[in-house]
Amino acid sequence: MTVKKTYRKISFRIVIIYIIISLFWILLSDVLLFRFFPESMFISMMKGIIYISLSALLLLYLMKQSWSVQNDLIAKEYVDDLTGLQNRSSLQKNLTMILQNEERFHLLFIDFDRFKMINDLYGHEIGDIVLKKVSDTLRDNSHIRFSDIISRWVADEFVVVLKNKSDHEVDLFVNSLLAETSAPIHIAGNEIVNHISIGSVHYPEDTTKSSELLRFAEIAAEEAKKNGGLTHVRYRKELSDKANRELYLEEGLKYAIEKQELFLNFQPQIATNTHQIIGVETLIRWVHEEQFISPGEFIPVAEKSGLIIEIGDLVLRETCINIPIIEESLGKELDFSVNVSARQFYQKDYIARTKQIIKETNIDPAKIVLEITESIIMEYTDFVIESLHELRKFGFQIAIDDFGTGYSSFKYLELLPVNIIKIDQSFTQSIEKIRTKAIVQSIISLAHNLDMKILAEGVENLFQVASLREMDCHYLQGYYFSKPLTLDNLIKYYK
Ligand code: C2E
Ligand code: CA
Ligand code: CA
């Protein structure tokens, strides 16, 4: 119900109560009192005074009540309960006003980089405290002026309107905010590291429409997120084109499973010494409206939309279903690597779902290598260590994918139950450089010392094969041996 309607209802009630009391007073004074005290000038004067005073007091009391109810309602309608900032309706209302009055302003869209994971891992209560702390930081920022607007747009998204500031002043604000909000937050014994992405749009330079202002700023914030987060991106036209393409992909992906547009390719993994196939990595493929769309393009969209969870299950299930077919056709036992994205891994029921698929398809989990990236490990280390131990205990093998591209801390290798390290293809492809060679050599030695297997990805030529053999790399994977193949081609070539 709107504030106006509720207020009208309350006012109507006051009038009714007032009428009832007046009638009661008339009954009491004129009918009852008159019986015992016949009318005199004094009595009728007193009656009048008492009546007027009582009515005035009553009216004052009722008005006060209604005002406080009205204020509460206004607060509820325009103030965000959790943070005390302006809410979405308030921002929209203010924006309409600003568009009429202001000549220039910046609108900033602020979005947490991984709030969903904070909620998933620590629960909503802690998530709320994080939001509250960040909104306090925002409010207390020294660059914010009284006339600026700070609002909570929805969930973990905030919108700030800075009036009459130069681009440089906006940069100062943004940089200080990025620094302040990325400090670890300590709640209930947890150290929560969190950061934000900021997208900004300028009125009137970028657009003059209020709906576009918000959308463009959001698109810019998404771009900032894609660039790794903890950064600021100013809106530009190409970002809209990119966002439209993503929307198209997301829409397509929603029905891709149903329409059976997704399928698997298998890329052989080779033993360096014997050149025999020892395993395959399953890589997903998508043909949509007769076009091949690369996983590099659609996996991030699937991750962002959450569709990766369903897709990830599909990949694992399909892999498991194909294992007996491949092993029987090739006449040998192999390892089967599947990629696990962060969004999947941080899902609370990831382990349960994964185990379930293995049970349903009746596959030995020791044949499955779960490939996780370094970024997964770096985020919520304790949770990840626990989860990986549980997966290992169940029987899965664990590989670290794209090793060397992330934060590469050797410390976690000691803590994690890892079986295989996969050297990222960027190292393989520049192995002729002395420095790269030295890095690759140390990664290989490290794996040997930790009793782990080591695989080099992206092997494209004989020189790379020879260098890696010389360095004692166990396994190789790359176009030199084979591109990812369809099931039929894998069986045809390796039979
Ligand atoms: P990735 O896990 O690092 O997979 C290896 C990528 O390198 C594959 O690209 C593969 O085709 C390509 N590749 C293999 N050998 C060579 C080579 O010799 N030279 C070059 N230049 N490239 C080579 P693809 O299939 O396009 O996949 C790209 C990325 O998409 C994968 O990188 C992985 O991160 C992701 N991805 C693919 N399938 C899945 C999946 O089922 N689930 C998830 N979560 N991610 C997937
Ligand atoms: Ca991989
Ligand atoms: Ca890789």
We report the CATH number of the domain holding residue 323 as 3.20.20.450
pLDDT number for residue 408 = 65
- On whether residue 209 sits in a domain, the answer given is yes
Instruction: Give 449 or 11, the one with higher predicted confidence.
Output: 449
| Contact call for residues 216 and 240 (beta carbons, < 8 A) | yes
| Contact call for residues 297 and 249 (beta carbons, < 8 A) | yes
- Both 59 and 137 in one domain: the answer is no
Amino acid residing at 152: R
For 122-148, what is the mean pLDDT? 94
Cα 35 from Cα 320, distance rounded (Å): 98
pLDDT number for residue 4 = 58
Cα 83 from Cα 90, distance rounded (Å): 14
- Both 476 and 349 in one domain: the answer is yes
Distance 371 CA to ligand 2 centre (A): 6
Q: Whose CA is nearest to atom 3 of ligand 1?
A: 402
Which residue, 78, 99, 118, sits at the end of a domain? 78
- Both 334 and 375 in one domain: the answer is yes
For 420-426, what is the mean pLDDT? 97
- On whether residue 435 sits in a domain, the answer given is yes
Residue 438 has pLDDT above 50, yes or no: yes
Distance 297 CA to ligand 1 centre (A): 11
For 240-262, what is the mean pLDDT? 95
> What confidence tens digit (pLDDT) does each residue in 332-365 have?
999 999 999 999 999 989 999 999 999 999 999 9
Q: Whose CA is nearest to atom 37 of ligand 1?
A: 283
Distance 97 CA to ligand 1 centre (A): 50
Distance 161 CA to ligand 2 centre (A): 42
pLDDT number for residue 33 = 63
- Both 358 and 468 in one domain: the answer is yes
pLDDT number for residue 117 = 85
> For the range 456-461, what are the long-range contacts, defined as Cβ-Cβ under 8 Å and sequence gap of 24 or more?
456/422, 456/423, 456/427, 456/428, 457/402, 457/422, 457/423, 457/424, 457/425, 457/428, 458/424, 458/425, 458/426, 458/428, 458/429, 459/428, 460/428, 460/429
Q: Whose CA is nearest to atom 8 of ligand 1?
A: 283
Helix axes 124-140, 167-181, angle to 10 degrees: 140
Contacting residues for 303 by C-beta, under 8 A, at least 6 apart: 341, 342, 343
The environment of the single-atom ion ligand 2, i.e. residues with CB closer than 5 A, is: 339, 371, 401
Work out the pLDDT band at 1, boundaries 50, 70, 90.
Answer: very low
| Contact call for residues 344 and 370 (beta carbons, < 8 A) | no
- On whether residue 243 sits in a domain, the answer given is no
Percent above pLDDT 90 for the chain? 71
- Both 408 and 387 in one domain: the answer is yes
Which residue, 31, 48, 78, sits at the end of a domain? 78
Distance 144 CA to ligand 3 centre (A): 44
Residue of 367, 414, 371, 412 lying closest to 394 (CA atoms): 367
Work out the pLDDT band at 31, boundaries 50, 70, 90.
Answer: low
- Both 309 and 397 in one domain: the answer is yes
- On whether residue 251 sits in a domain, the answer given is no
Please measure the distance between the N-terminal and C-terminal CA atoms of the chain and give it in whole angstroms: 71
- On whether residue 120 sits in a domain, the answer given is yes
Instruction: Give 57 or 439, the one with higher predicted confidence.
Output: 439
- On whether residue 98 sits in a domain, the answer given is yes
Percent above pLDDT 70 for the chain? 95
Question: In terms of residue numbers, what domain contains 316?
Answer: 257-494
Domain count, the chain: 3
Which residue, 78, 110, 134, sits at the end of a domain? 78
- Both 72 and 113 in one domain: the answer is no
> What confidence tens digit (pLDDT) does each residue in 200-222 have?
999 999 999 988 999 999 999 99
Element (H, E) at 424: none
Of 56-60, 280-284, 291-295, 346-350, least confident by mean pLDDT is 56-60
Cα 333 from Cα 299, distance rounded (Å): 29
pLDDT number for residue 15 = 76
pLDDT number for residue 39 = 61
Residue of 179, 113, 181 lying closest to 342 (CA atoms): 113
For 237-243, what is the mean pLDDT? 93
- Both 204 and 339 in one domain: the answer is no
pLDDT number for residue 38 = 62
Instruction: Give 363 or 24, the one with higher predicted confidence.
Output: 363
Cα 315 from Cα 282, distance rounded (Å): 8
- Both 358 and 390 in one domain: the answer is yes
Strand extents, DSSP E, 182-311: 185-187, 190-192, 196-203, 232-234, 262-271, 277-288, 291-293
- Both 57 and 114 in one domain: the answer is no
- On whether residue 207 sits in a domain, the answer given is yes
- On whether residue 248 sits in a domain, the answer given is no
Q: What is the mean pLDDT of the chain?
A: 91
Residue of 371, 239, 367, 240 lying closest to 299 (CA atoms): 371
Q: Is the peptide bond before 300 cis (omega within 30 degrees of 0)?
A: no
Ligand nearest to the CA of 311: 1
- Both 327 and 407 in one domain: the answer is yes
pLDDT number for residue 7 = 62
| Contact call for residues 220 and 239 (beta carbons, < 8 A) | yes
Using CB distances shorter than 6 Å, the residues near ligand 1 are 267, 283-284, 294-296, 299, 312, 315, 339, 341, 401-402, 425, 458-460, 478-479, 484
- Both 334 and 275 in one domain: the answer is yes
Q: Provide the CATH number for the domain around residue 209.
A: 3.30.70.270
For 91-120, what is the mean pLDDT? 91
